[in-house]
């Protein structure tokens, strides 16, 4: 039974023909819908597009979408094959090769001219992305041409998802003590001014146990903020007790605070206020870079270490400009965290000692990346028919 999940579910007909149909299939976790929701918001807010967002698992969206008011310009629809019987928009975005409903592709082929069919790929820092970005692919069944859109870190890619005013928003929020305290208090975050601030949002990793040991032994008090997620099960094992939102556990210099899973905007606030963020996947990985703070990336694990070249390619770019010894320590931390090797307490102590240098580097990287056109802007330009 399909139940359209529209902003106004009482309305059967759709809004006027949208500029984009964006299809999202939730594989697991929150990244697929996290990226698609953010893209839809950028297209609507920064470019005035009306976006029809088709989601096969709308419940995943409710976890990350700011609660309350509808998002102007975005119509969220439950993607079940019989629900996609509408006139395709001028731009059809297939997120992460999710395979569009055949009937929808047939409807696309019946349009004259047909919509621009864009396949939004996963983000990678690898060099080959530049050669593949924008390439066409002929779909024999429909006779249509699909074009590949690769996010990336360089001018020869589709860029990174970023709201147009994000850097200014971030800096204004950080400068507004009252807003910061109010927004963080709502999340259960009370910052101890003398304590180092870290956040943890990773997959399961044996390194979480040594992170706890390293922070407990740290010379300075540390507050570790852990939203309810897959990190929590390993942290609970390491601490020998169950953990749930609202819990605070102290070990030496460390106080570990468990937070409820929050919406994307609130999670940005947590990232912005921390001194170092441990993130994962794709969207939180990008958001940590926009936070302009040091970070550790837990890449989405793949069999036989297939994810490691992607990790190394990112570190090659991310470490550009760092002193060699600092870059070496940051790589060792990433390699340890992203492999069975696990990270030693000494690895953590070395990188925590590098924080002042890593902070200035993170600020420089964020400003350099923000100088590039953001992904939604590039996609709007990419969508223009050839002259």
Pick between residue 201 and residue 337 the one whose CB is nearest to ligand TRH: 201
> What's the chain's length in residues?
387
CB 50 within 8 A of CB 121: no
Pick between residue 88 and residue 294 the one whose CB is nearest to ligand TRH: 294
Residue 183 a catalytic site member: no
- Which residues of the chain form contacts with ligand TRH (CB under 6 A)? 27-32, 34, 64, 122, 201, 227, 229, 261-264, 267, 280-285, 300
Q: Least CB distance from residue 357 to ligand TRH, whole Å?
A: 26
Pick between residue 87 and residue 260 the one whose CB is nearest to ligand TRH: 260
Q: Least CB distance from residue 41 to ligand TRH, whole Å?
A: 11
**Torsion region of 53: left, alpha or beta (phi above 0 gives left; psi -120 to 50 gives alpha):** beta
Helix (H, G, I), strand (E, B) or coil at 201: coil
- Spatial CA neighbour of 163 closest among 317, 40, 12, 80: 40
Q: Least CB distance from residue 334 to ligand TRH, whole Å?
A: 16
- Spatial CA neighbour of 275 closest among 162, 354, 171: 354
Q: Least CB distance from residue 260 to ligand TRH, whole Å?
A: 8
Distances (CA, A) of 321 to 105, 285, 290, 365: 46, 20, 18, 9
Pick between residue 285 and residue 348 the one whose CB is nearest to ligand TRH: 285
CB 206 within 8 A of CB 235: no
Query: Measured between alpha carbons, how far is 195 from 256 in angstroms, rounded to an integer?
Result: 12
Query: Measured between alpha carbons, how far is 107 from 111 in angstroms, rounded to an integer?
Result: 7
Query: Measured between alpha carbons, how far is 203 from 40 in angstroms, rounded to an integer?
Result: 26
Pick between residue 229 and residue 383 the one whose CB is nearest to ligand TRH: 229
- Spatial CA neighbour of 54 closest among 28, 89, 80: 80
Residue 282 a catalytic site member: yes
Q: Least CB distance from residue 150 to ligand TRH, whole Å?
A: 14
Considering 32, 75, 121, 354, which one is annotated as catalytic? Answer: 32
CB 66 within 8 A of CB 265: yes
Chain residue at closest Cβ approach to ligand TRH = 31
Considering 94, 282, 354, 374, which one is annotated as catalytic? Answer: 282
Give strand pairing partners of 24.
Answer: 55
Active site residues: 32, 282
């Amino acid at each position: 039974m399909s139940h359209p999940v529209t902003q106004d579910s009482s309305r059967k007909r759709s809004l006027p023909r949208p500029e984009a149909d964006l299809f999202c299939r939730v594989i697991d976790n929150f990244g697929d819908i996290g990226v698609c929701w953010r893209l839809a918001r950028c297209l609507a807010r920064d470019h005035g597009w009306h976006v029809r967002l088709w989601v096969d698992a709308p419940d995943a969206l409710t976890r990350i979408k700011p609660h309350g008011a509808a998002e102007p310009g975005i119509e969220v629809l439950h993607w079940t094959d019989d629900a996609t019987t509408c006139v395709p928009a001028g731009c059809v975005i297939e997120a992460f090769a999710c395979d569009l409903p055949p009937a929808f592709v047939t409807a696309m082929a019946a349009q004259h001219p047909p919509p621009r069919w864009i396949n939004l790929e996963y983000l990678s820092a690898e060099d080959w992305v530049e050669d593949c970005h924008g390439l066409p692919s002929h779909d024999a069944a429909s006779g249509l041409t699909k074009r590949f859109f690769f996010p990336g870190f360089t001018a020869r890619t589709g860029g990174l998802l970023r709201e147009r005013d994000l850097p200014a928003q971030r800096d204004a929020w950080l400068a507004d003590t009252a807003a910061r305290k109010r927004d963080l208090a709502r999340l259960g975050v009370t910052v101890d001014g003398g304590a180092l601030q870290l956040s943890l949002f990773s997959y399961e990793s044996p390194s979480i146990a040594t992170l706890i040991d390293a922070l407990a032994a740290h010379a300075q008090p540390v507050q570790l903020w852990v939203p309810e997620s897959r990190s929590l099960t390993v942290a609970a094992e390491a601490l020998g007790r169950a953990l749930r939102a609202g819990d605070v556990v102290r070990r030496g210099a460390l106080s570990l605070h468990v937070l409820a899973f929050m919406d994307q905007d609130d999670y940005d606030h947590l990232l912005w206020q921390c001194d170092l963020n441990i993130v994962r996947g794709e969207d939180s990985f990008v958001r940590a870079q926009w936070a302009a703070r040091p970070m550790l990336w837990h890449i989405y694990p793949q069999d036989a270490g297939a994810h490691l070249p992607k990790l190394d390619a990112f570190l090659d770019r991310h470490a550009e400009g760092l002193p060699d010894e600092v870059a070496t320590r940051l790589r060792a931390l990433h390699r340890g965290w992203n492999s069975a090797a696990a990270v030693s307490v000494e690895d953590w102590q070395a990188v925590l000692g590098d924080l002042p240098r890593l902070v200035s580097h993170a600020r420089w990287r964020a400003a350099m990346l923000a100088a590039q056109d953001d992904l939604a802007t590039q996609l709007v330009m990419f969508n223009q028919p050839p002259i």
